[in-house]
Amino acid sequence: MTDAPDNGRCRARDLGITIGNYRTGPLNAITDVAGVEVGHATVSWGDADLPDRHGPARTGVTAIWPRRYDASGGDDDLMTHPVAAGFFALAGTGEMTGRSEIEELGRINTPIVLTNTMGVGTAYDAICRYLVEHDERVGGSEGVVIPVVAECDDEYLNDSRGFHVTAAHVAAALDTASSGPVAEGCVGSGTGMICFGFKGGIGTSSRRVADGDATWTVGVLTMTNFGRRGRLTVDGVPVGRHIPWGSEAELPEQSHRGDRVDGSCIVVVATDAPLDGRQLARLAKRAALGLGRTGSAGENGSGELLVAFSTGYRPQQGPGVAVQQIIEGESINDLFAATVDATEEAVLNSLCMAETTTGRFGRTIHALPLERVRGLLAEYGRATPAGR
């Protein structure tokens, strides 16, 4: 069980919500996969009455290192030993750079950065410059890189016309990334996001899967910015139906961003299980089922893009034939199920940890009312002892 933050927000498990039957990792986060690091740069300043293009800023950057670069070229060097990767688009009205290389070669050799829609170009350029400045092999002996940058649109709360995400913010997220607990809710790229009409943002979760003598970890991080209020489902309970507009969490200008049909979600799945690019594309596809459990319909205006990578499989880089073991057949089913569960819980954590936020034009997005959710879970007989 985790301690509730001072603002009264808490993770889903502290409400008594237990998704699935697999154990979580010690942090219940994507960083439970060894070597994975996450960092945020939160860009939140300014009042609603600022002139166009001068704020307020409600945005940021979230960076995920599958592994760090190691100029000595050791076995854990992301540059010379990319992680295997796969991609799946549940709904394609969005952007993730580098996806064509992932689909073609089944690998990633850069950090993954999440930000707002109109900050993709800035983030892409900033990653390239950051890597060049920190490693002389980039653009030199090891060639150029194609960074992975993914976005969701935070324009309802954030002054997107002001381009408030800078190269310094990208560098800060990359620099401060760590393998410890991951901040959730209104942090980093999740600062201005909306999920099911409530305040969304960053969420994470993990699962451990036993396979004979081996134990594999699956970790998921989500940036949530999708969903209609009436479809929100928490551990099978139709919570959204019980919290209609005009209740505890009414939005102004409902017709603009209220019962929304547009929006996006980025899902990053990490695992140490030995899976190649083909298998990881299958794993990413299963993460979409976790979004569906929470209420996603992958609608027309939504960009729900999912990427999975494995630190336990090394794509062949040089000439010759490489023989490596991968998980196949029935053994992969537990990894599929664990990914679905961790994705569902990561979305719920983003909602549970996010705080009510006021931004552009004085618009306010309210946080999911946790006590109301706790009561609904009890009414449906779904609550379990917190911290299980």
Q: What is the CATH code for 13-379?
A: 3.60.70.12
Q: Tell which residue, 4, 14, 29, 33, has the closest CA to residue 216.
A: 33
pTM of the model: 0.94
Is the separation of the CB atoms in 311 and 66 below 8 Å? yes
User: Annotated catalytic residue: which of 44, 302, 310, 350?
Assistant: 302
264, 296, 310, 350: the catalytic one is 264
Q: Is 72 a catalytic residue?
A: no
Contact between residue 86 and residue 106 where contact means Cβ atoms under 8 Å apart: yes
Catalytic hit among 304, 344, 345, 350:
304
Q: Does the active-site annotation cover 100?
A: no
| CA 179 vs CA 134, 176, 219, 337: distances in Å | 20, 10, 12, 24
pLDDT tens-digit profile, the chain (388 residues): 334 455 789 999 999 999 999 999 999 999 999 999 999 999 999 999 999 999 999 999 999 999 999 988 788 899 999 999 999 999 999 999 999 999 999 999 999 999 999 999 999 999 999 999 999 999 999 999 999 999 999 999 999 999 999 999 999 999 999 999 999 999 999 999 999 999 999 999 999 999 888 999 999 999 999 999 999 999 999 999 999 865 555 544 443 444 555 689 999 999 999 999 999 999 999 999 999 999 999 999 999 999 999 999 987 666 666 667 888 888 899 999 999 999 999 999 999 999 999 999 999 999 999 999 999 999 999 865 444 3
For residue 256, the model assigns a pLDDT of: 43
